[in-house]
Structure 1
Amino acid sequence: MRRKARTASKAENRPRFWGRHAVAAALQNPERTVAKIWVTREAAGSFEFGRDVPVTYADAADLGRLVPRDAPHQGIVAEVERLPDIWLADILDGASERRPLLVLDQVTDPHNVGAILRSAAAFDAIGIVTQDRHAPPESGALAKAASGALETVPWVRVVNLSRALDEIAEAGFWRVGLTGEAEMALGEALGPPRVALVLGAEGEGMRHNTELHCDALARLPISDRVESLNVSNAAAIALYAATVA
C-alpha cells in the first residue's frame, strides 16, 4: 500500500500507548515504529520485543507516571512513531464488493473513534475516512479503545471531506448518511453492495454539506425511549446491517 511521506516526528510528539492489546498490536505492525518500551518483568514474558526496540524494566508505579492518571497500563507502556498517512485511492482500488467503508464527519472523541476502529475490524470494513483537522490524533486513549484495531484498519485522513465523498462515489460506493431525522430506515437505504456509511459528530450530527454528498439519508430504527445512540454504537449497528444486507 502506497503511503504519503511524512517528516520524522520529534520525540515529544510521539504518542504513548498502554495496555497489552494496544502495545502487542503495535509491535506486530510492520508499518509501526516502536521507539521505546517500559515494562514490568511480570508482563514482559507475554511479549516478543525486537532487538532494535529499547526496553526498560520498571515497577508498575513507575509506569503509572508515564501515562494519564488511572490509565490501565497492564504493566506495559510503549512510545511509538505515528503511522504514515494513507491515500484514499489506495483503499478504494480493488476493494471487495461486500466490505463497507466508514466516513466520520468531525467525530473528535478519541474513545469513540477507537471503538469505531474496533467495530470496523470486527466487521471487516475497508477502513475509515476522517478529516485531517477535525479528528483526534493517535493517542494512548484511542489505541486502548481500539484494542489493537488501530494497527489493522486503514485510517485515511483527508483535507476536504466533500471531495473525498465524491471520490468514494466515483469508485462505485453508495453513500448512506446516518441521521435521526431521516424518514427512511437504514435497511431500506441499503441497496448496492459497495456501501459507505457516513456518521456525524457527537451531538451535532452530520454537517449539511456532508448530507448533500450522500446518496441516501437513513436512521436507525431505535425506540423512542432514547433520543439517539452514541456514535460508536451507531457505527457498530450500521456495520452489521451493511454486512448482512
Structure 2
Amino acid sequence: MPKKEHTLLLEGRNVVLEAFRSGKPIDKVFILDGCQDGPVRTIVREAKKRDTLLKFVSKERLAQLSETGQHQGVIAYAAAYEYATIEEMFELAQKRGEDPFFILLDNIEDPHNLGAIIRTANLAGAHGVIIPKRRAVGLTATVAKTSAGALHYTPVAKVTNLAKTIEDLKKRGMWFVCADMDGEMMYRLNLKGPIGMVVGSEGEGIGRLVKEKCDFAAGIPMKGDIDSLNASVAAGVLAYEIVRQRMLQ
C-alpha cells in the first residue's frame, strides 16, 4: 500500500530518531520484527512517549513500504513537511545575531544532492535553503535520509521565481555570489556580510536570468582532468570559504 500524499516517508534509524527529537509529528512507525538493538529501543521509547502507532512487521513488508531500499529496519510516516518562509530564515539569523546566509539552488534535480546540501547548510551555519518550484527535486524520503536529520533543523523555502527572489532579497541588503567555473577565484572575493550563495547542477548549471542577478561569480580551483565538481561538493567548498571568512571578522 503506497504512502498517502499528505505524509512524508522517513527511512533509517538516525532520520526517524532526529524527527522525534526535533518534535516533528510522527503518525506511525514500522519496525522490523525482532529488532531490539539500542537505537531501535530508543525509537520505540520515543514512539510510546508520544502515543505514536507502533507496528512490528516483516522484512518483506518493510521492503514494500521503502522508497530508498535503505530503511535499516525502521520506517516512519510523518505529517507532511511544511516549507519554511524566507521571513523565518531572517528571524533565525536575527536570533543568532548573525548576518543572513542563505543557500539558493537552481536546477538541482537529484535528491541525493539536495539532501547533502541541506546537511552542509546546517553544519555551515546557513540560515536556510531556497529552491524553485520548477526544475527542482522536492523534499522526498531520499532527501530526508541523505540530509542525515538536518532537514528537521534547516528551513527550506520554495519560491516561484528564483531571479525575482534574488531581486527582493537585494532590497533587504543581501548580495549574491554564484558558483561558476569561469568566475573569479573564490579566495580573492570578499564573501562577508549578508550573503546568498547560488549553486546549480553540474549538468545545466545556473540559469542565465539567475546568474545575471548575482553580484559575483566565484570559481573553485580545480587541478584535475575533468571540469566540474558534483553540485553538493561545490556547495560545500564555497559554503566553507564563506564560513572561513566570517570567522575572521
Q: TM-score, normalised by structure 2?
A: 0.86
Residues 125 and 191 (structure 1), Cα distance of their counterparts in 2 relative to 1, 3 Å cut? closer
- Residue in structure 1 matched with residue 71 of structure 2 by the alignment: 73
- Residue in structure 1 matched with residue 211 of structure 2 by the alignment: 211
- Residue in structure 2 matched with residue 147 of structure 1 by the alignment: 148
Q: Which has the higher strand share?
A: 2
Q: Is the Cα–Cα contact under 8 Å of residues 92 and 168 in structure 1 kept in the other structure?
A: no
Q: Percent identity?
A: 27
Distance 2:213 2:105 in 1: 13
What does 1:96-107 align with in structure 2 at a 5 Å threshold?
A: 96-98=97-99, 100-107=101-108
- Residue in structure 1 matched with residue 139 of structure 2 by the alignment: 138
Distance 1:121 1:94 in 2: 12
Shift of 1:42: 1.7
Distance 2:54 2:195 in 1: 44
Distance 1:240 1:226 in 2: 22
Q: Deviations over 1:75-103 (max 9, x none)?
A: 10011222223221221246243563100
What does 1:137-176 align with in structure 2 at a 5 Å threshold?
A: 137-176=138-177
CA RMSD of aligned residues (A): 1.9
Residue of 17, 21, 36 corresponding to 2:10: 17
Q: Which has the higher helix share?
A: 2
Aligned residue pair count: 233
- Residue in structure 2 matched with residue 5 of structure 1 by the alignment: none
- The amino acid that maps onto 1:112 is N
Unaligned ranges ≥5, structure 1: 1-9
SS in structure 2 at match of 1:181: strand
Q: Is the Cα–Cα contact under 8 Å of residues 102 and 196 in structure 1 kept in the other structure?
A: yes
Distance 2:6 2:80 in 1: 9
Residues 222 and 166 (structure 1), Cα distance of their counterparts in 2 relative to 1, 3 Å cut? same
Distance 1:63 1:104 in 2: 33
Matched, 1:42 2:43: no
Distance 2:185 2:234 in 1: 13
Distance 1:85 1:98 in 2: 22
Distance 2:178 2:50 in 1: 47
Q: TM-score, normalised by structure 1?
A: 0.88
Unaligned ranges ≥5, structure 2: none
- Residue in structure 2 matched with residue 4 of structure 1 by the alignment: none
